[in-house]
């Protein structure tokens, strides 16, 4: 969000109302009022040999544990700096632009079946590099894994679950109404695992391929990205020779009410380009494009 922007009537704590959109764009949320009405699904297998080599070098340079998760988040942030419409969301049948890039991920405290899990929420700026992503994500993940104490999300969930069922249902209904009108307090927005720019899950850490995950009707998430374990594919090149390609499968669930198909296509092409040129993410973008007003 532009630093000189002042909140106006109709804006939310977590986003500003987009007032200059075409009439058809404003009309669409009335035809598809929930995200599950408006889900589109995209899958791609990205060649990751170049990324892999660069990440290995960065680990040698001292960035211990830097991996595909950091790269994909950094790539998504960089695309938002060029195509800010990806950071829009729909609530209350209106389209808003997020103030920042907020990523949510579920984290298990250890890789055992009975280990507890929680969510982390990390805020980024469109100017952040892969090194900023590495630092911010690792700080949050380490905070969860080294502490047995609940974070804000777990504290809120436990408080609500102590209520009788009819009161809990009433409370959720009240929260839905408050979210519709943008009245949820900032402290609850920060604790909520349903409000942000992107949910991401790293199924590669479990050594399985990705799934298409739904996006929640409650909250603000327009995108859910799942990616799986690296795999090898033996294919013929244009000369007929057999080549070994290293791939990562990525599956993305999208809210189609925020931008059109051409816009998403440009984002996917940019994603593919960054997989071939990962060094771009090591420096801030030369320019950040602001969303419409």
- Dist CA 121 CA 139 (whole Å): 11
Q: Which pLDDT does position 11 carry in this prediction?
A: 95
Length of the chain: 293
Residue carrying structure tokens 């307090």:
185
* Averaged pLDDT in 10-residue chunks for the chain of 293 residues: 76 96 96 94 96 97 96 98 98 97 88 78 97 96 76 80 92 95 94 95 90 94 96 87 92 96 96 97 97 95
Half-sphere exposure of 70 (CA within 13 A, CB side): 29
Beta strands in the chain (DSSP E): 15-17, 39-47, 88-91, 94-98, 101-108, 117-124, 198-202, 223-227, 231-236, 242-255
Half-sphere exposure of 47 (CA within 13 A, CB side): 11
Residue 142 three-state SS: helix
- Dist CA 70 CA 78 (whole Å): 12
Q: Which pLDDT does position 139 carry in this prediction?
A: 94
Residue carrying structure tokens 């409000």:
195
Angle formed at CA 210 by CA 208 and CA 211, multiple of 5 degrees: 125
Q: Is 165 exposed, middle or buried (0-12, 13-18, 19+ CB in 10 A)?
A: exposed
Q: Which pLDDT does position 6 carry in this prediction?
A: 82
Asked whether the beta carbons of 86 and 269 are under 8 A apart, the reply is no
> For residue 73, what is the enclosing H or E element?
helix 68-82
Q: Which pLDDT does position 1 carry in this prediction?
A: 60
Q: Which pLDDT does position 68 carry in this prediction?
A: 96
Q: Which pLDDT does position 238 carry in this prediction?
A: 84
Q: Which pLDDT does position 104 carry in this prediction?
A: 96
Q: pTM score, two decimals?
A: 0.92
- Dist CA 154 CA 137 (whole Å): 19
Q: Which pLDDT does position 2 carry in this prediction?
A: 59
Output phi, psi for 123, to 5 deg.
Answer: -100, 135
Residue carrying structure tokens 């595909």:
68
CATH superfamily of 17-26+33-278: Chloramphenicol acetyltransferase-like domain (3.30.559.10)
């Amino acid at each position: 969000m532009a630093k000189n922007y002042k909140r106006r009537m109709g804006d939310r704590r977590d986003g500003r109302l987009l007032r200059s959109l075409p009439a058809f764009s404003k009309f669409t949320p009335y035809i598809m009022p929930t995200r599950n009405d408006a889900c589109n699904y995209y899958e791609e297998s990205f060649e990751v040999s170049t990324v892999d080599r660069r990440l290995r070098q960065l680990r040698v340079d001292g960035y211990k544990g830097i991996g595909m998760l950091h790269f994909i988040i950094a790539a998504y942030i960089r695309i938002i700096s060029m195509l800010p419409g990806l950071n829009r969301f729909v609530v209350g049948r209106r389209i808003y632009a997020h103030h920042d890039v907020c990523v949510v991920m579920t984290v298990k405290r250890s890789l055992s079946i009975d280990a507890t899990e929680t969510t982390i929420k990390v805020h980024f700026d469109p100017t952040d590099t892969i090194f900023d992503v590495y630092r911010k994500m690792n700080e949050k993940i380490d905070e969860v894994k080294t502490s047995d104490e609940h974070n804000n999300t777990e504290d809120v969930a436990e408080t609500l679950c102590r209520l009788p069922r009819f009161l809990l249902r009433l409370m959720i209904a009240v929260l839905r109404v408050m979210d519709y009108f943008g009245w949820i307090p900032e402290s609850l927005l920060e604790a909520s695992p349903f409000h942000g720019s992107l949910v991401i899950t790293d199924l590669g850490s479990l050594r399985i391929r990705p799934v298409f995950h739904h996006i929640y009707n409650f909250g603000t998430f327009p995108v859910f990205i799942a990616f799986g374990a690296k795999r090898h594919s033996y294919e013929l090149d244009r000369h007929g020779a057999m080549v070994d390609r290293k791939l990562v499968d990525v599956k993305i669930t999208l809210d189609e009410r925020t931008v059109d198909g051409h816009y998403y296509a440009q984002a996917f092409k940019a994603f593919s380009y960054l997989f071939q040129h990962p060094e771009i993410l090591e420096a801030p973008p030369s320019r950040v494009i602001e969303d419409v007003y």
